[in-house]
Each structure stands twice: as C-alpha cells, then as structure tokens.
Amino acid sequence: MRTLYIIGTGGFAKEVAQLAHEINLAFAHWDALAYLSETPAEVGKPMPFGSVVGTDDILKDLSTPADVAVGIGSPRLRAKLGSSLMPLPSLRFPNLIHPANPINADHVLLGVGNIVTRGAVFTCDIKVGDLNVFNLNSTVGHDTTIGSFNVINPGTNVSGGVSIGDRCLFGTGSQVLEGISIANGSTIGAGAVVVKDVDRENLTLVGIPAKPLNAT
C-alpha cells in the first residue's frame, strides 16, 4: 500500500490532493491520499480524494517509508516543516509535477518536495531547491536559481537569470524582471513588478515598480 501523506487540510492542501489525483490518473502512483491535520478533532473528516487520517505527529512514528507532500502555502511554515521532517529517514518528499507540463531533467535541476501544478512552465538551465510551490500558470525563465520553501502563486512570471533565496512569497500575477536577485523571506505583492534587486531580507514589496510596502 503506497500512501501519499498531505500535510494540511486547507485550500492549498486540497489543491495538492487534486494534483496528486491527476498524477495518479496518468501514472497510477499512489494507492491512497491521506491528509494530516494539526487538529485531532479533524481526524476522520472526508476531504477531496481522501480523508484526514491523523495528526502531523504520526509521520515521526511510521515504521515503513512514506511519501509526504506539504500542502501549506506559507513559506515560513513550509520551512519549519521541512527542517523538522526532512531529516527523518523514513520520509520521502517526491516532486509532484502535473503530467500536462513535464519537466526536462536535463535542463531543470529540481530538489525534492516541489509542487508544480497545471500550467507551470520552466525553460532551461534552472536550479531549484526543495519544497517550493510553482502554482498554476507560473513561469520560470532560463538560468534562474531558486532556493527552498518559496511559494510562487498563480500567474507569476520569473524572467531569465533571476536568483531567488529561501522562504519568499510571490503574490499572484507578480513579475520579476531579468537578472534580479531577491533576498530570503521577501514577500512580493500580487501584481507587483520587481525591477531592482531586493537586497534586504524579509521585506514586503508591492506595486509597479515594486517598492517596500511602508515606502509606497
């Protein structure tokens, strides 16, 4: 019995289950999709394509290897879960890639646990770390390097030669121009266009051109 455990029970977790279901339709990969909640009261609750089977804690006590996907859309929480769960030897973090947009492994180097939903496109010579989200119709251009635990929301366009750190959030429809560097923990507002390097960590930028929130 091969189960994919999905951490989370919110909207993004349901979308991850839908992605896994669509992967299953193409490749029959998992026998069951099982959600994990942080709330014991949710155990047993039916969810799309599966149900809540336990709390996150069960992952620490599994006796057999298990596949895990992080169904949480917060970069900070993805990083927290990644650092506590990725060292556990029984857990595997497969890349979940929508079958309609396969990734050419000769040109795109992916770590583990990345979620790549329908319509997300990568071109060539791209390096990506672990546990990132590339949501619907986002694009990543040539020679770009992306760290870990980033969440790239729908319709975001990352141009060529960009460098992105860890734990960044890209709001829906945001744009990053070519050659830009973006520091760890940046939040780019929905619809923003990043035209200059973001050197300071943990800033929120909005607008066109994107500027720090308290400076607009």
Where do contacts with ligand COA occur on this chain (CB under 6 A)?
A: 153-154, 171-172, 187, 189-192, 204, 206-207, 213
| Shortest distance (Å) from residue 173 CB to ligand COA | 8
Q: State the minimum distance, in angstroms, from the CB of residue 15 to ligand COA.
A: 9
Report helix, strand and coil shares of the chain as percent, to nearest 5: 20, 30, 50
Q: Give the chain's end-to-end CA distance (angstroms, integer).
A: 54
In the complex, minimum distance from the CB of residue 21 to ligand COA, in angstroms, rounded to a whole number? 19
Pick between residue 34 and residue 188 the one whose CB is nearest to ligand COA: 188
Q: State the minimum distance, in angstroms, from the CB of residue 96 to ligand COA.
A: 17
Q: Which residues, 6 or more positions from 73, have their beta carbon under 8 angstroms from its beta carbon?
A: 10, 11, 12, 133, 151, 153
Residues ≥6 apart with Cβ < 8 Å to 42: 9, 52
- Which residue, 54 or 119, has its beta carbon nearer to ligand COA? 119
Residue 79 or 168 having the CB closest to ligand COA? 168
H-state helical runs in the chain: 11-27, 75-85
CA dist 101 and 129 (Å) reads 19
Nearer to ligand COA, 59 or 154 (CB): 154
Which residue lies nearer to ligand COA by CB, 85 or 203? 203
Q: From the CB of 170, what's the least distance to ligand COA, in Å?
A: 7
Reference 111, options 131, 83, 96, 92; nearest CA is 131
